[in-house]
Amino acid sequence: MEPVPAAEVDVDHECDVLVVGFGAAGAAAAYEAAAAGADVLVLERSSGPGGTSAQSGGELYLGGGTRVQKACGFDDTPDDMFAFLKAALGPHADEEKLRLYCDGSVEHFEWFRARGVPFKESLFDAPGWMPHTDDGLMWLGENAWPYNTIARPAPRGHRPETPMFAGGILMEKLIAAVAEAGAATHRDTYATNLVVDGDGRVAGVVARAFSERVAYRARRGVVLTSGGFVDDEEMLADHAPVLLGHDKVSDGTSDGSGIRMAAALGAATRRMATVEIALTANPAVVCRGMLVDGLGRRFINEDVYPGLFSHRAVQHQPGPYWAIIDEAGYDEIAEADMWGVHPKHAAETIAELEESLGLPSGSLEQTVETYNRYAEKGEDPYFHKDAKWLRPLKGPFAAIDPRDGFFGAGRHGAGTGAGGFTLGGLDTTVDGEVRDLSGEPIPGLYAAGRTASGIHGEGYVSGTSLGDGTFFGRRAGRAAAARLKGSG
Amino acid sequence: MEPVPAAEVDVDHECDVLVVGFGAAGAAAAYEAAAAGADVLVLERSSGPGGTSAQSGGELYLGGGTRVQKACGFDDTPDDMFAFLKAALGPHADEEKLRLYCDGSVEHFEWFRARGVPFKESLFDAPGWMPHTDDGLMWLGENAWPYNTIARPAPRGHRPETPMFAGGILMEKLIAAVAEAGAATHRDTYATNLVVDGDGRVAGVVARAFSERVAYRARRGVVLTSGGFVDDEEMLADHAPVLLGHDKVSDGTSDGSGIRMAAALGAATRRMATVEIALTANPAVVCRGMLVDGLGRRFINEDVYPGLFSHRAVQHQPGPYWAIIDEAGYDEIAEADMWGVHPKHAAETIAELEESLGLPSGSLEQTVETYNRYAEKGEDPYFHKDAKWLRPLKGPFAAIDPRDGFFGAGRHGAGTGAGGFTLGGLDTTVDGEVRDLSGEPIPGLYAAGRTASGIHGEGYVSGTSLGDGTFFGRRAGRAAAARLKGSG
């Protein structure tokens, strides 16, 4: 991964702006650079573009008054969006990036529309990781406590018009837009080293295409958008050990190579330990019942964004966890919302359920008794779950292990029931310039997406990875295209 | 902090081994290098040596069958020590370093004795951060659940013979030993840049002594032992934001300069987000009562090492927290153990206390009722506090804010009631060699103490920072001294 002097390289291909990695961030950078008139080339190590983005839910965290929000009757503002994200992504979100991201969000939404990404102007008004409908808008915890006390709630989960996984359609449109804008793509091409001019300017990359070594010269800049490092066990052990052993939310190519190539040239990294981590836990169940820890105790309002209860569970509580629901609640859940639900334990009484789950005697009884007593009054003084989800639970009951489901059966077979990805990466300016260890931009080097550290504090909300990856990817592409050829 | 080519430097002072920073790790490195026959020079930026180590409690986590342990009737083994630390420092402690540390612990203890550090052969057999006695041995959570089920419990907190803060006497002896071994010290000298030979070997440092620039040549190696980075707000924001706003356990010079000098030369860092963080909370109170969160719920066995309940509290629970105790328990505590205890709330009944603390009605009552019911039987099925601390609590009661105390009144006046320091740093081999980004040792460069990443996983136990700092400091000093002069 060591940088290679330009003088030692026989150039095979030339362009103005070279983008490394064709996920959402790479597509955004490539499009903008090409639209600005630059000669753009995108390298993708896989046999087709799309990356992890194409396999994702496709949520884009956008707001401030988008067309979809207005059509659904919500009067959102950039300030409310900022206040929500500052709280939900925090503590210690990057306020400079976050401010730009919120202020530019309506324009960013229109950019997706102009690229042909379809958004249905309708709201999926139920808890969920991913709607089973093709609705264009969903809640991502804005209407749950404490966030509903911090900012005026508006749903900001925007998603392309398709049920469940919408990342495919998102990337299909972006890939087509990049091609239309005139950018070329080299597939099966894995960048391994940055090429550096005598004056320290990044001037291209050396890559491997099957067994061939191929050298690229970039006259204006290189944009690294090759993903995070969840697939590299050594980097995880060194920087984000909390993800070791869990499943990987990745297409398998998140090996940190972009971060390592840049670091080998003296680039600074930032918050390498921050991660997203999720349990399978089905929010339709969790909302209607309760989520308890291995001592039968609730630990969060169950109507919060599921990424948040997952994060709290995995990082802050020893497992196991249980989703407890009663028959009335269970029967209420639509068939389509039932994925991943495998009740392992059923019982007529809570005392029987306690025994079956191996909980301390009286522990879950006490939790349910307290919950029910307040639910009668439509209150939850402990965790402030919204009154619409509060109802005394009556037998028969079932307990569902929220660790069962797609992560447990994931390709790594780790079976912890949790999976995640990395949020730390290269330290960048708001224009995607990669900073060196003294904080100065490295000439000619840009990064976006999970190769960079983005808007995130110590938390995560769905849609903010595709969101900040594309938003700052676009800025990086424009900044790279605007550099004078060969300037320092 | 950029490295300086040796050719550009007019050397003011020469030595074989140059040690940067005169805390415990620096003293250990300097002593061993000098004892091996090297000409050693120690740079200390303050007006006197000692660093943060001299202001600390002076605990050294040592075991495996030391003289003090045997005298106190404990038959410890390196394997039990390893099993405890692997659990208590984990997950993901560095097993290679940990194995060496445990296997070499008896020898390391004898090394301190031979340097004149006095250890009284007696056990302080009570919970506490620091004994108010001069006992040489204390428990650091080895006898608390779950650790007492993982390894045979033995106390391993070794401490110099003095009440409370014993870091001063520890450093006094080590500083004298370093001088006797023949090492020289330059005070008020702040190293700012590494000096590098043409072949990439570290050959010295450039430093600032008041307004003078002074250059040092090290014929064999440079050992960086200048502490962590808790005093650098920018580094905290970039790498360990969890400590932002909290008090700093530091002498004020933990600015990360050692880490930054090395990183500027291409050194790798490791686990920069890991930290130690502590609440003032008085263990004598906490043990005898209960520790509850802002919802009146216990979250840990209160007889565990106080660093562990602090860590759990600050990182895993939203504040406030309360130590709840009854009059009988309060009266039992010795005057000398009462530091930092300021009951803010007193009440005849738990219901009154609940109201006074603003807890949900019935929450603390339920916790106390459950606690008392099981305590009658000498049981704690929730958190497994040892039976000797279990006794039904009866009014009158008091609540103490565990955030009051020395941190709240600390020099930074942050008043969060918590303080800590950083555990992440340079990636080193077991001999203290600093690794570059591809994992290869950088010739001539060593690090130890909090400038390096040590044995720690995601947790911390008192005595392991002075412990691994001195243990691997000694190894680094020996390794540096053993290098052939000017070898690559």
Query: What pLDDT does A403 receive?
Result: 76
* Strands B441-447, B212-224: pairing kind: parallel
- Taking the C-alpha atoms of residue B62 and residue B76, their distance in angstroms, rounded to an integer, is 10
Query: What pLDDT does B415 receive?
Result: 62
Q: Which residues pair with A205 in a beta bridge?
A: A194, A216
Q: Which residues pair with B398 in a beta bridge?
A: B325, B346
What separation, in Å, do the N-terminal and C-terminal C-alpha atoms of chain B show?
Answer: 23
Tokens of B196: 């590098």
Is A237 in Cβ contact with B92 (below 8 Å)?
Answer: yes
Task: Say if CB A292 and CB A367 are below 8 A apart.
Answer: yes
| Structural element, H or E, at residue A190 | strand A189-196
Q: Is B320 exposed, middle or buried (0-12, 13-18, 19+ CB in 10 A)?
A: middle
Mean pLDDT (chain B) is 93
Q: How confident is the model over A245-293, as pLDDT tens digits?
A: 888 999 999 999 999 999 999 999 999 999 999 887 888 899 999 999 9
Tokens 């190519």 locate to: A253
Q: HSE of B487 in the Cβ direction (CA atoms, 13 Å)?
A: 7
Percentage of chain A exceeding pLDDT 70? 96
Q: Which residues pair with B269 in a beta bridge?
A: B426
Q: Where is average pLDDT lowest: A92-101, A181-190, B274-283?
A: B274-283
Tokens of A115: 């690229």
pLDDT at A410 over 50: no
Q: Is B155 exposed, middle or buried (0-12, 13-18, 19+ CB in 10 A)?
A: buried
Give the model's confidence band at A405: pLDDT under 50 very low, under 70 low, under 90 confident, else very high: low
pLDDT at A363 over 70: yes
Closest Cβ opposite residue A239 in set B271, B316, B438: B271
Q: Where is average pLDDT lowest: A17-26, A113-122, A126-135, B42-51?
A: A126-135
Q: Please, which residues have CB within 8 angstroms of residue B124's CB and are 6 or more apart in sequence?
A: B131, B133, B135, B137, B138, B139
Q: Where is average pLDDT lowest: A330-334, A378-382, B64-68?
A: A330-334
DSSP classification of residue A170: H
Name chain B contacts of A316, Cβ cutoff 8 Å: 315-317
Q: How confident is the model over A155-192, as pLDDT tens digits?
A: 999 999 998 899 999 999 999 999 999 999 999 999 99
- Taking the C-alpha atoms of residue B155 and residue B290, their distance in angstroms, rounded to an integer, is 23
pLDDT at A413 over 60: no
Tokens 């005169």 locate to: B22
- Taking the C-alpha atoms of residue B322 and residue B279, their distance in angstroms, rounded to an integer, is 11
Which residue on chain B is closest to A235 by alpha carbon?
Answer: B270
- Taking the C-alpha atoms of residue A199 and residue A202, their distance in angstroms, rounded to an integer, is 9
Percentage of chain B exceeding pLDDT 90? 81
Closest Cβ opposite residue B244 in set A92, A260, A382: A92
Q: Where is average pLDDT lowest: A218-222, A398-402, B82-86, B474-478?
A: A398-402
Name chain A contacts of B359, Cβ cutoff 8 Å: none
- Taking the C-alpha atoms of residue A310 and residue B485, their distance in angstroms, rounded to an integer, is 55
CA distance A257 to chain B (A): 12
Percentage of chain B exceeding pLDDT 70? 96
Give the model's confidence band at B410: pLDDT under 50 very low, under 70 low, under 90 confident, else very high: very low
Percentage of chain A exceeding pLDDT 90? 81
Task: Say if CB A258 and CB A20 are below 8 A apart.
Answer: yes
A354 three-state secondary structure:
helix
Mean pLDDT (chain A) is 93
Chain A interface with B: residues with Cβ < 8 Å = 1-2, 91-92, 237-239, 241-242, 244, 260, 263-264, 266, 268, 270-274, 295, 297, 315-317, 360-363, 366, 370, 381-382, 427, 437-438, 457-458
Is B458 in Cβ contact with A92 (below 8 Å)?
Answer: no
Name chain B contacts of A244, Cβ cutoff 8 Å: 91-92
Query: What pLDDT does A364 receive?
Result: 96
Question: String of b and e for A286-303 (b: at least 16 CB within 10 Å)?
Answer: bbbbbbbbbbbbbbbbbb
- Taking the C-alpha atoms of residue A343 and residue B306, their distance in angstroms, rounded to an integer, is 39
Give the model's confidence band at A319: pLDDT under 50 very low, under 70 low, under 90 confident, else very high: confident
Torsion over CA of A115, A117, A121 and A125, rounded to 10 degrees?
-140
Task: Say if CB B452 and CB B432 are below 8 A apart.
Answer: yes
Query: What pLDDT does B343 receive?
Result: 78
Largest CA distance in chain A: 77
Tokens of A112: 């997706």
pLDDT at B486 over 60: no
What separation, in Å, do the N-terminal and C-terminal C-alpha atoms of chain A show?
Answer: 23
Which residue on chain B is closest to A315 by alpha carbon?
Answer: B316
Tokens of A277: 């981590």
CA distance A40 to chain B (A): 30
Query: What pLDDT does B405 receive?
Result: 60
A47 three-state secondary structure:
coil
Name chain B contacts of A297, Cβ cutoff 8 Å: 297
Chain B interface with A: residues with Cβ < 8 Å = 1-2, 91-92, 237-239, 241-242, 244, 260, 263-264, 266, 268, 270-274, 295, 297, 315-317, 360-363, 366, 370, 381-382, 427, 437-438, 457-458
Query: What pLDDT does B170 receive?
Result: 98
Q: Kindly tell me the sign of the dihedral angle through the C-alpha atoms of B333, B334, B340, B342.
A: positive
- Beta-sheet strands, E only, within A327-389: 343-347
**Vertex B480: Cα angle to B478 and B483 (nearest 5):** 105
Give the model's confidence band at A482: pLDDT under 50 very low, under 70 low, under 90 confident, else very high: very high
Nearest CA-CA partner of A445 in A478, A474, A476: A476
- Taking the C-alpha atoms of residue B321 and residue A446, their distance in angstroms, rounded to an integer, is 45
Global ipTM: 0.88
Is A437 in Cβ contact with B260 (below 8 Å)?
Answer: yes
Task: Say if CB B457 and CB B91 are below 8 A apart.
Answer: yes
Higher pLDDT, B33 or A416: B33
Tokens of B52: 């943060």
pLDDT at A318 over 80: no
Name chain B contacts of A370, Cβ cutoff 8 Å: 362, 366
A134 three-state secondary structure:
coil
Three-state SS for chain B is: CCCEEHHHCCCCEEEEEEEECCCHHHHHHHHHHHHCCCCEEEECCCCCCCHHHHCCCCCEECCCCCHHHHHCCCCCCHHHHHHHHHHHCCCCCCHHHHHHHHHCHHHHHHHHHHCCCCCCCCEECCCCCCCCCCCCEECCCCCCCCHHHHCCCCCCEECCCCCCCCHHHHHHHHHHHHHHCCCEEECCEEEEEEEECCCCCEEEEEEEECCEEEEEEEEEEEEECCCCCCCCHHHHHHHCHHHCCCEECCCCCCCCHHHHHHHCCCECEECCCCEEEEECCCHHHHHHCEEECCCCCECCCCCCCHHHHHHHHHHHCCCCCEEEEEHHHHHHCCHHHCCCCCEEEEECCHHHHHHHHCCCCCHHHHHHHHHHHHHCCCCCCCCCCCHHHCCCCCCCEEEECCCCCCCCCCCCCCCCCEEEEECCEECECCCCEEEECCCCEEEEEEECHHHECCCCCCCCCCCHHHHHHHHHHHHHHHHHHHCCCCCC
pTM: 0.92
Query: What pLDDT does B406 receive?
Result: 57
| Structural element, H or E, at residue A207 | strand A202-209
Domains with residue ranges and CATH for chain A: 281-416 (3.90.700.10)
Is B239 in Cβ contact with A271 (below 8 Å)?
Answer: yes
Give the model's confidence band at B488: pLDDT under 50 very low, under 70 low, under 90 confident, else very high: very low
* Pick among B311, B363, B380, B382 to test the A interface (most A CBs inside 10 A): B382
- Taking the C-alpha atoms of residue B369 and residue B350, their distance in angstroms, rounded to an integer, is 10
CA distance B39 to chain A (A): 33
Which residue on chain A is closest to B275 by alpha carbon?
Answer: A273
Q: Please, which residues have CB within 8 angstroms of residue A213's CB and are 6 or more apart in sequence?
A: A206, A207
- Taking the C-alpha atoms of residue A92 and residue B87, their distance in angstroms, rounded to an integer, is 30
CA distance A207 to chain B (A): 18
Is A263 in Cβ contact with B437 (below 8 Å)?
Answer: yes
- Taking the C-alpha atoms of residue A300 and residue B202, their distance in angstroms, rounded to an integer, is 52
- Taking the C-alpha atoms of residue B67 and residue A62, their distance in angstroms, rounded to an integer, is 65
- Taking the C-alpha atoms of residue B90 and residue B274, their distance in angstroms, rounded to an integer, is 11
Closest Cβ opposite residue B238 in set A270, A361, A381: A270
Is A268 in Cβ contact with B272 (below 8 Å)?
Answer: no
Q: Which residues pair with A14 in a beta bridge?
A: A217
Q: HSE of A48 in the Cβ direction (CA atoms, 13 Å)?
A: 11
Q: Please, which residues have CB within 8 angstroms of residue A149's CB and are 6 or more apart in sequence?
A: none
* Pick among A193, A271, A371, A458 to test the B interface (most B CBs inside 10 A): A271
Is B271 in Cβ contact with A241 (below 8 Å)?
Answer: yes
Is B370 in Cβ contact with A362 (below 8 Å)?
Answer: yes
Q: How confident is the model over A188-210, as pLDDT tens digits?
A: 999 999 999 999 999 999 999 99
CA distance B315 to chain A (A): 8
- Taking the C-alpha atoms of residue A157 and residue B230, their distance in angstroms, rounded to an integer, is 37
Helix axes B78-88, B105-114, angle to 10 degrees: 100
